[in-house]
Structures are given as structure tokens and as C-alpha cells.
Chains A and B, each alone.
Chain A
Amino acid sequence: MPVVRARDLSFAYPEGPAVLEGVDLDVQAGEFVGIAGPNGGGKTTLIRLVVGLEQPTGGELEVFGGPPPQATGANRIGYLPQRAEIGLSAPITVREVVESGRVSVAGIFGALSTEDEAAVDEAIERVGLSEKAGERLTRLSGGQRQRAFIAKALAGGPKLLVLDEPTTGVDADAQERLAELLDELRAQLGVTILYVSHEFGAIEPYAERLVVVRSGIVFDGAPSALPDVWHDPSHVHP
């Protein structure tokens, strides 16, 4: 059973033009899929549909064999939106960010159990921030902040990790290290990864599959098979 299965999927805002049309997509467990395309092409909409934040206006979409809102419990989704909502002036530590990702497992009441604390420690360690766990997020570089938010997503033990433009504002080195980290996580945890980016150069060595979205899917295959002219997604033409 694929983790994500879409058939003739479409989406449009009320009284607006179609953002996505006729999308067919299967994502298998353990795949690292890069989703690219021009701004406004529908790539963010596609993953918002997958995580259940938007509802399709046509076609079928299943995540873990059911409609996206059912993707909880044993089939958790770790989701990193483009930008976290909490203000950067908030005095929040790396550990507090990661602990918040455990709420989906631990529940909203009371203190974290020893098991939950261990899961938080492990997630922080996996992203290489153990020594920074007690530091305020504001003291970290952009790349380290993104690692903290990946650890937050990992703390809930997700089967599917969905990242929307995680490297916006992060330098090229940090982008590459992030892609390398995600590849390691996939190998170690078997987690399926959907990685949205309009600059997919950094993930090309690691993503085994690239999906280019421009209203529909205009390319789906190995990154090496992508025609040279399409390497700049803003010039993609269906």
C-alpha cells in the first residue's frame, strides 16, 4: 500500500482558478521524493492536501490508506511549514521546541514521561543539536533552527515527514547538510520524505525521485532524467 495515493486529484479555491488538476501520484514507504516547480505552480498546495490542511475539490487522495485526517495514531505525519508561527523573539529553547513535537504522542496534559523525555533526547541527538539543547532558538543559525524543527517533527515518531521549503533563507552549505541529514534519517528510521523546494539542487544527490508540479505533474522520475532545461524550475513548461 502506498503512503500517498492520488488519482485525478484537483484543487481550487472558492471562485478561483484551478491550482491543481489531474494529479496522479503514488509515494511508496521509505521514498525520498523531492517536489519542485515554479512559485504558484501548486507544490505547496499538493502537500497541504496530503497533510489534510486543505480538502480536495475533485479526485481521490489517500494517505496511509485513508483520507488525510486519519493519518494520526501509528501513522503520524511530521510537518514543517515554510515558517514557524512563534515569533523569533520568543525565549524558547531548542529542547522546548522539540518537546512540543512530542505532544501528539504524550497528550496535552501534565508532564512528559521518562519515555517521552528519552524520545525528545533522541530526536535532538539525531539532528546533532545535543550541545545546543538548552540554548535559545534565537542564538542558532538558520540551518540549526531548521534542524531543531526537524527534531520537533521526529519527536512524534512520524512515518511520513513533509517539509515545505525548509531551506528558505539558509545558505548553500546548510542546505546540503540538511539534505544529507534527511537521507540519513530515511536510512535509519525508514521514514518517507516529501521535500518541497523551488531550488532542488541540494537534494538532487539524495532524492531518488523528483516530481515537478505546475498545475499538474509535468515530470516524475529520477533527478538524473530531468532534462537540463528544467533544472531551473521557473522555466518549466508542460
Chain B
Amino acid sequence: MSILDSDFMRLAFATGAIVGVLAPAVGFFLVQRQMSLIGDGIGHLAFAGVALGYLLGISPVATALVASVAGAIGIEQLRSVRRAAGDQALALFLYVGLALGVVLLSAADSLNASVFAFLFGSILTVTTGDLILVATLGIASVAAVLALYRGLVAVAIDEEAARVSGVPVATLNVALAALAGITIGVSIRIVGILLIAALMVLPVMTASLVARSLRAALGLSMAIGAASVTAGLVLAYYLNLAPGGAIVLVAAAFYVAVSVAQALSGRRAHA
């Protein structure tokens, strides 16, 4: 029996491909701005969103999406108002999100194994409705990243210089935060809340080792992200693993492999 004979795997691969491209595309700009950990903060807010969904008896994915976007914009606003306290703003949202999630899940009497699917991803839980939501928001978000590429790069290189020269920095920052929130919201089913931040960062780190330009690094990041998700899902299917863990370990393996290959080729060049 082929891996694609199952409906749930076809749904998982289709959703995963979109997530695999989107996560590094948005993460790319967070890495360049040395804000790699913001995905973790937003992920923990998404956890509170999932818990709210359980409590209210509505789709946890929808409530997580709303919580992610609202939280991401909140972190950005706090960061921009109190510029020196970016890490503190992140810590505040991270811990409050986690605590709120646990409290809400307890209140909903849902603090049980079903939550694991949201924390680490699950192949079996992707529905056609999820795919439609992920495809709509994912494709629109990738299109937004590409359309805003030039402005996002200008802000990544130097936010203050961009502001002085008249670039709409505040608008671009809110747009990037909202895109990060959407990315995490739509990635919950496949990668899980606790590991999505890694998929936003690891492919970018790998691509940055070998790319000769920023544009090439962005394209390569998206390709590595898609390859990591595809390979991770295959491993998860055959070895009965949580997909989020398998995907992130594949992404990490890409980084290690490229680093080692570079080190060896450098040693050979110096020999």
C-alpha cells in the first residue's frame, strides 16, 4: 500500500507543503532581524487559543489562529513602544500564554492526551476544512511576503535608517507580526505549537550557510522547509512518530549536514 493511498496522508502532505514553504518565508525576516525566538512566544499564545476553543466548544484551530495573530501584533506593539525591552515583551507573552492555556484547559476539563496533537502535530487530525483554511491563508501569506519583500528587507537591514528615509516601518512591522501569527496558527495541525518556531528558523539558518544572496537564501529556505516537512511526514508515517518532532529533526539534520560539508570542504581547500 502506497503512502498516498490514505486520504489522511494526502491531506497531511498538501497541508504540510504549504506550511513548509510559508514557515521559513516568514521566519526568514525574523531571523534577519535577530527575532528568531518570537515564534515561541506566539506559539504559546496559540496554546491559549487552543484551550479557549476547547472551553467554548468551537474549532481550536480557529481560536488558535485568532490568538496567534492578536498576540503577534501585541508583542510587536509592546516591542515598538518599549524598544529596549523586546525580550521582556516576548517573555511576558510566552509565560502568560502558557499559563492561560493550562488554566483554560483545566477549566474545560480537557487537560488530557488530546492536547498532544496540538502541541506536537498529528497526521491523523488534518481535515479537508483544515486544508482549505491553510491553503487560503498560506498562499495569501506567501504572496504578501513576496509583495512586501523589498520593504521587509529595508527594515531588516536597518529599521531606524528605513524610518528616517520615509519607509512605512510601523505598517511593515505589524504586517510581519500578523504573518508570523498566521503562520503559527495554520501550522498547528502539522508541526504543533511547540515546534513550529523551529521550522521558521532552521531552514533559514541552513540556507544562509550556502546562499550567495538574500533572495537566493529566501528561495532556498522555502525549498528546505518544504523538503523537511515532506521527509518528516514520511518518517512519521512509517515509524509512527509525532510529525512535528520528525519534521524539525529533519530540518536540523539538513543544517548539520550542510555545516559538516562546509567544514570538510574548507579543510580540503586549506590542505
Q: Cβ of B216 and Cβ of A91 under 8 Å apart? A: yes
Q: Cβ of B213 and Cβ of A85 under 8 Å apart? A: no
The reply to whether the CB of B241 lies closer than 8 angstroms to some CB of chain A is no
Q: Cβ of A97 and Cβ of B157 under 8 Å apart? A: yes
Q: Cβ of A92 and Cβ of B157 under 8 Å apart? A: yes
Given contacts A92-B213, A93-B214, A108-B168, contact A53 B163 (CB under 8 A): yes
Q: How far is the CA of A112 from the CA of B168 in the complex (A)?
A: 17
Given contacts A84-B158, A103-B154, A108-B150, contact A91 B212 (CB under 8 A): yes
Residues from chain B with Cβ under 8 Å of A72 in the complex = 165-166
Q: Cβ of B151 and Cβ of A79 under 8 Å apart? A: no
Residues from chain A with Cβ under 8 Å of B150 in the complex = 99-100, 103, 106, 108-110, 112
The reply to whether the CB of A38 lies closer than 8 angstroms to some CB of chain B is no
The reply to whether the CB of A170 lies closer than 8 angstroms to some CB of chain B is no
Q: Cβ of A52 and Cβ of B32 under 8 Å apart? A: no
Residues from chain B with Cβ under 8 Å of A162 in the complex = 164
Q: Cβ of B159 and Cβ of A85 under 8 Å apart? A: yes
The reply to whether the CB of B156 lies closer than 8 angstroms to some CB of chain A is yes
Q: Cβ of B216 and Cβ of A86 under 8 Å apart? A: no
Residues from chain B with Cβ under 8 Å of A99 in the complex = 150, 153
Q: Cβ of B156 and Cβ of A85 under 8 Å apart? A: yes
Q: Residue of A at shortest CB range from B205? A: A89
- Number of B interface residues, CB 8 Å? 32
Expressed in whole angstroms, the minimum distance between the Cβ of B151 and any Cβ of chain A is 3
Which positions 200-235 of chain A face chain B at CB distance < 8 Å? none
Q: Cβ of A89 and Cβ of B208 under 8 Å apart? A: yes
The reply to whether the CB of A96 lies closer than 8 angstroms to some CB of chain B is yes
Q: Cβ of B168 and Cβ of A77 under 8 Å apart? A: no
Expressed in whole angstroms, the minimum distance between the Cβ of A17 and any Cβ of chain B is 18
Expressed in whole angstroms, the minimum distance between the Cβ of B38 and any Cβ of chain A is 15
Expressed in whole angstroms, the minimum distance between the Cβ of B85 and any Cβ of chain A is 14
Chain B 159-177 near chain A by CB (<8 Å), digits 1 or 0: 1111111111000100000
A96: contacting residue among B34, B168, B213, CB under 8 A: B213
Residues from chain B with Cβ under 8 Å of A110 in the complex = 147, 150
Q: How far is the CA of A156 from the CA of B211 in the complex (A)?
A: 27
The reply to whether the CB of A30 lies closer than 8 angstroms to some CB of chain B is no
Residues from chain A with Cβ under 8 Å of B154 in the complex = 100-101, 103, 108
Which positions 112-155 of chain A face chain B at CB distance < 8 Å? 112, 134, 136, 152-153
Q: How far is the CA of A116 from the CA of B215 in the complex (A)?
A: 18
Expressed in whole angstroms, the minimum distance between the Cβ of B208 and any Cβ of chain A is 5
B161: contacting residue among A87, A90, A109, A153, CB under 8 A: A153
Chain B 31-45 near chain A by CB (<8 Å), digits 1 or 0: 011100000000000
Expressed in whole angstroms, the minimum distance between the Cβ of B248 and any Cβ of chain A is 21
Residues from chain A with Cβ under 8 Å of B167 in the complex = 103-104, 108
Chain A 64-102 near chain B by CB (<8 Å), digits 1 or 0: 000000001100111111001111011111001101110
Chain B 187-229 near chain A by CB (<8 Å), digits 1 or 0: 0000000000000000000011001111111000000000000
Question: What 5 A-B pairs come out closest when comparing CB atoms?
Answer: A108-B151, A72-B166, A104-B165, A79-B164, A100-B154
Interface residues of A (CB under 8 A from B): 51-53, 72-73, 76-81, 84-87, 89-93, 96-97, 99-101, 103-104, 106, 108-110, 112, 134, 136, 152-153, 156, 158, 162
Interface residues of B (CB under 8 A from A): 32-34, 147-148, 150-151, 153-154, 156-168, 172, 207-208, 211-217
20 residue pairs bridging A and B, Cβ less than 8 Å apart: A76-B165, A76-B166, A77-B165, A78-B161, A85-B34, A86-B32, A90-B217, A91-B212, A91-B216, A91-B217, A99-B153, A103-B153, A103-B154, A103-B167, A104-B166, A108-B148, A108-B167, A108-B172, A134-B212, A136-B212
